[in-house]
Amino acid sequence: MSIESVVNHGEEIDLSKLSDEGRVRTPAGKLGLLVFALGIGWSLFHFYTLGFGMLTSVLQRSAHLSLGLALCFLYYPQNRKKTENYDTIAWYDIVIAAVAFISIFYIFYNYREIVTRVGAPTTTDLWMGGLAIVLILIGAYRAFGLALPLVALVFLIYPFIGQYLPALIGHRGYRLTRVINELYITNAGIFGIPIGVSATFVFAFVLFGSFFQVSGAGSYIVRLAFAILGRFRGGPAKASVLASGFMGSIVGSSVANTVVTGSITIPTMIDTGFDREVAGGVETAASTNGQFLPPVMGAAAFIMAEFTGIPYWQIATAALLPAIISYAGLLAMVHLQAAKTGMKAMPRERIPPFARTFFSGIFYWIPIGVLVYYLLIRRMTPFAAGYVAILTAIGIIIVKRGVTLIADVRAGRFTAVPAFFEQARGFWKDLLSGLDNSAKSMAGIAVACASAGIIVGVVTLTGMGMRVTLLFSVMARGNLFILLLSSAVLSIILGLGLPTTAKYAVMATLVAPAILAVEPNLPVIAVHLFILYYAILADDTPPVGVAAYAAAAIARSDPIRTGIIGFKFDMGAFFLPFMFVYNPQFLLVDTTWYEVMMIGTTGLFGIICLSAVIQRWLITRLALWEAAILLAIAIAMIWPSLLTDAVSFVAFAGLFLYQRHKKKTQLTQETAGAAAS
């Protein structure tokens, strides 16, 4: 089965037709060529500014959003449920796209005049600002559905009704001109931190991930994962987790990760006995969690770096151990699923040999090594490290084409000149494909970041953050655990409708200050990673869990059930963020390697126990009292100490031995029953 496409009820799903938010329109003819050219131009603009210097922040952000918003109306139809809407673009969508471009590009074109009159906007400024805000909300609806624009709209209404609200959450009220000025003319709203991150760091790593995929790395990583884990029970599902972790750490896009790795892993899981929904759910959970795995992580991690002022390399380093434990929890969930359903290993003849597979694509590790070196060792800025990594990935594509050219000439398939032109055409196609895929991934992210900017701008203008901090503090009554649990639940509820970037921006603006107010001694990075983790965990939930829809298309399963099962597999690590809030050593903060080893062991132990509770299985099915013991152990690992560790390990050992005895008794009874019959 091809990496680039998967079969969906006889219909091929091409990777080039998918964005970070699902399927995009691919019209034929001149119109399709125009949309393609606009996407290529948008990506080239960012590639150029990465290498030769960014523009002034407002110019960079307005240039980025102007074309990104326009592409959103060209990529996404008004009704995404009708298949025929993806084959053409209505004339009014072209008009809306043009107006959207003008409403944002107005800032770029009139930049010098506008900076001299901040706080005193003209009538034209206000009309353009109002138009931009409305079109951003409509664009968010096109890309993500109704939830995100509704949340943004609620925040937009707040400045006008504050004088009618109770004193705890009320304010004096603001005029329309003041709100538009704040959101459109200043850099505290639409052109604030979220869109700034989208226009720099995020686009750099999306470009890198696209070229990394185009180079053929996805197929190699999947084969390598099968070679490592295929021989174990439930091997294809475990290989899916490993491959998606590798790819997710580089790509940072759950949808692209799902399609690239899932097109191979999901059919293999189904062939070895997994239900279609379970196969899709495993891939969804594994691909979504890639947003938490260094070195690249996802768009929200770059926004975190800007919000907190913490260097990105430090965030990536802090996230490493929790990410590893999270994926270990996923592997535990998969193993227990395979054990309780009687799954077998892959047939030996279908398992690639490890050594040959590893060395056949060892050069794919070069771009990753370059990225890690410049990002985490040299500690260059993320977009500088990303630019070097992009050039390295393109270099890998060129070298592969050159090797293929030599092989073709030696084998007599082509003479030298035709072989050169054949590979040159292939390289040109790879280059354009990488740029086009980047634009399709980034259009939705840009609009989500602009929507998040609207929310953050309203919070800044009205002082809403302080009021919510006070409200949360009163509700929690100074209890940190209640506040953290409330934040986790709220994040998951928001996850029903908001993408990760917008969800993190909302929670970081409103909830992070409340947590730090209750416990000011907590490391800021622990609080924000707590929020980020639940923002990612909630991405599996319908209706915004687009990765679940992509996985369901490959598995030919129900997307809602696939998303719910994906969320279930992610729940194995539900307590993990509580662990690193109460124990910042998880984040490598003020700790020693001995402490890291100890706390990593207890964290892994707790997640395995929680995974067993969720699956209701250890060696055999868990009784309710057995599940209660394991749940208590998992909760105890949130506040590990020598006493809780000792008691928990003794309790687990006793339960494990009891489960072995129960399993042996069951087998004896089954054997006796079979003999009697």
Per-residue pLDDT for 449 more than 80?
yes
- Cβ neighbours around 92 below 10 Å, total: 10
Residue 562, in any domain of the structure: no
Average pLDDT over all residues of the chain: 87
> Does the pLDDT of residue 9 top 60, yes or no?
no
pLDDT at residue 574, rounded to an integer:
82
Range of the domain at 38: 5-458
Residue range 348-399, pLDDT digits in tens? 888 899 999 999 999 999 999 999 899 888 888 888 899 999 999 999 999 9
Chain segment 163-177, per-residue pLDDT in tens: 888 877 888 889 999
pLDDT of residue 20: 58
| Residue of 659, 649, 655 whose CA lies nearest to 606 | 649
**Among candidate residues 288, 298, 289, the one with its CA nearest the CA of residue 202:** 298
Tell whether 410 is covered by a domain. Answer: yes
The count of structural domains within the chain is 1
Are 519 and 550 within 8 A, CB to CB?
A: no
Residue type at 229? L
Q: Per residue in 101-116, pLDDT tens? A: 999 999 999 998 988 8
Q: Is residue 310 part of a domain?
A: yes
Which one, of 523, 536, 532, 645, lies nearest residue 586 by Cα? 523
- Residue environment code for 517-555, b if the CB has 16+ CB neighbours within 10 A, otherwise e: bbbeebbebbbbbbbbbbbbbbbbbbbbbbbbbbbbbbb
Token output for 38: 């606009």
In Å, what is the CA distance from 51 to each residue of 48, 164, 275, 384, 578?
A: 5, 51, 47, 8, 40
Reading the block at residue 582, the tokens are 């109460």
Q: Cis ω on the peptide bond leading into residue 295 (within 30° of 0)?
A: yes
530-551: pLDDT as tens digits = 998 888 887 777 666 778 888 8
Between vectors from CA 418 to CA 414 and to CA 423, what angle results, nearest 5°? Answer: 95
> Angle at CA 213, nearest 5°, toward 212 and 219?
120
Q: Does 128 map to a domain? A: yes
Q: What percentage of residues in the chain have a pLDDT greater than 70?
A: 95
- With contact defined as beta carbons under 8 Å apart, do 602 and 582 qualify? no
Phi-psi region of 386 (alpha: psi -120 to 50; beta: other; left: phi over 0): alpha
Confirm whether 546 is domain-assigned: no
* Distance between CA atoms of residues 622 and 339, nearest Å: 13
- Domain presence at residue 91: yes
Return the higher-pLDDT residue of 124 and 470: 124
Q: What is the enclosing helix (H) or strand (E) of 216?
A: none
Is residue 3 very low, low, confident or very high in pLDDT (cuts 50, 70, 90)?
very low
**Residue 137, token pair as written in the block:** 């909300």
* DSSP states along 273-312: T--HHHHHHHHHHHHHGGGGSTTT--HHHHHHHHHH---H
For 141-155, 254-268, 317-331, which range has the lowest pLDDT when averaged over its residues?
Answer: 254-268
Q: Answer whether residue 6 shows pLDDT above 50.
A: no
Q: Whole-angstrom Cα distance, residue 667 to residue 394? A: 57
Tally of CA atoms within 13 A in the half-sphere of 346 that contains its CB: 25
Torsion angle defined by CA atoms of residues 136, 140, 142 and 147, in that order, rounded to the nearest 10 degrees: -140
In a domain, 42, yes or no: yes
Q: Is residue 568 part of a domain?
A: no
What is the distance, to the nearest Å, from the Cα of residue 46 to the centroid of all Cα atoms in its chain? Answer: 21
- The full length of the chain comes to 677
pTM of the model: 0.85
Is-contact 465 514, C-beta < 8 A?
A: no
Residue 180 pLDDT greater than 80, yes or no: yes
What 8-state DSSP symbol labels residue 28? -
**Identity of the amino acid at 664:** K
Q: What is the pLDDT of residue 2?
A: 34
CB-CB contact of 245 with 229 (8 Å): no
- Burial (CB < 10 A; 0-12, 13-18, 19+), residue 224, is buried
Give the burial class of 366: count Cβ atoms within 10 A of its Cβ; 0-12 exposed, 13-18 middle, 19 or more buried. Answer: middle
> What per-residue string of b and e applies to 52-71 under the rule 16 or more CB within 10 Å gives b?
eeebeebbbbbbbbbbbbbb
Peptide bond into 543 cis (omega under 30): yes
d(CA 422, CA 419): 5
621: helix, strand or coil: strand
DSSP label at 56? P
List, for residues 12-38, the tens digit of each pLDDT value: 345 556 565 567 888 888 999 999 999
pLDDT, one tens digit per residue, over 396-426 is 999 999 998 888 888 887 788 888 898 999 9
What is the distance between the alpha carbons of residues 99 and 92, in angstroms, rounded to a whole number? 10
How far CA 95 is from CA of 18, 86, 108, 494, in Å, comes to: 23, 17, 20, 32
pLDDT in tens, 272-283: 888 899 999 999
pLDDT in tens, 320-352: 999 999 999 999 999 999 888 888 788 888 889
* Cβ neighbours, 10 Å, residue 672: 10
Say whether pLDDT at 608 is over 50: yes
- Dist CA 520 CA 514 (whole Å): 10
**Mean pLDDT on 467-472:** 76
Query: Could you give the dihedral angle defined by the CA atoms of residues 187, 189, 190 and 191, in that order, rounded to the nearest 10 degrees?
Result: 20
What average pLDDT score do residues 193-199 get?
A: 91
Helices (H), 312-415: 312-341, 354-360, 365-372, 382-411
